[in-house]
């Protein structure tokens, strides 16, 4: 039996998710919390990574499009499929001057092993405290939820994906990125 407080928390989160899904609220919410607003600056961050100099800041990626995707856990089936699809499409993202960045609560060592085992050539960031995932409305207790954000070269959130099918997600993001880039020219 769950406590009344737990029940109310679950009920409230579910109601927010339904309201967000129905688009009745001016502020977008997902099960993980409040999402950054479209056409507003993306929350900046610096997190440890398995690549480069060991840390990556969103502000260091200014001047290029960023596909920032949050995922639950390295080596799980859905997360592996999603990462493989992004890797498969990486040349197309690079043609569009877009950087893919993955974020989960796993540590840098786990990310390094995951990248090695899957041949991933894009950075994975270690959000072990969940602070960045929270800032992006993508945190559920101890894992990041599967959300993706397209951020333009000026650091502005241009689109959000909260209902993600890992098998086709990269194609969806590529198509939307193409639309956004054409609209920006």
Q: Which residues are the active-site residues?
A: 79
**Distant-in-sequence, close-in-space partners of 24: CB < 8 Å, separation ≥ 6:** none
Cα(43)–Cα(143) distance, rounded to whole angstroms? 19
Cα(83)–Cα(91) distance, rounded to whole angstroms? 14
Angle, CA of 155, 175 and 76, to the nearest 5°? 80
Buried b (16+ CB within 10 A) or exposed e, 125-150: bbbeebebbbbbbbbbeebbbbbbbb
Instruction: Report yes or no: 166 and 89 within 8 Å, Cβ to Cβ.
Output: no
């Amino acid at each position: 039996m769950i406590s009344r407080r737990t029940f109310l928390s679950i009920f409230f989160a579910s109601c927010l998710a339904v309201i967000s899904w129905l688009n009745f609220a001016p502020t977008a919410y997902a099960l993980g919390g409040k999402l950054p607003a479209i056409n507003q600056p993306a929350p900046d961050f610096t997190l440890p990574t398995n690549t480069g100099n060991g840390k990556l800041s969103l502000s260091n990626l200014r001047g290029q499009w960023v596909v920032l995707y949050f995922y639950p856990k390295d080596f799980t089936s859905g997360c592996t499929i999603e990462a493989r699809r992004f890797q498969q499409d990486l040349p197309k993202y690079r043609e569009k001057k877009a950087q893919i960045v993955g974020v989960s609560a796993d540590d840098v060592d786990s990310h390094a092993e995951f990248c090695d085992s899957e041949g991933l050539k894009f950075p994975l960031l270690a959000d072990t405290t969940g602070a960045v995932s929270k800032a992006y409305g993508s945190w559920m207790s101890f894992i990041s939820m599967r959300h993706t954000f397209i951020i333009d070269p000026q650091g502005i959130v241009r689109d959000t994906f909260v209902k993600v099918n890992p098998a086709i997600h990269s194609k969806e993001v590529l198509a939307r990125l193409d639309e956004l880039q054409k609209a920006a020219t």
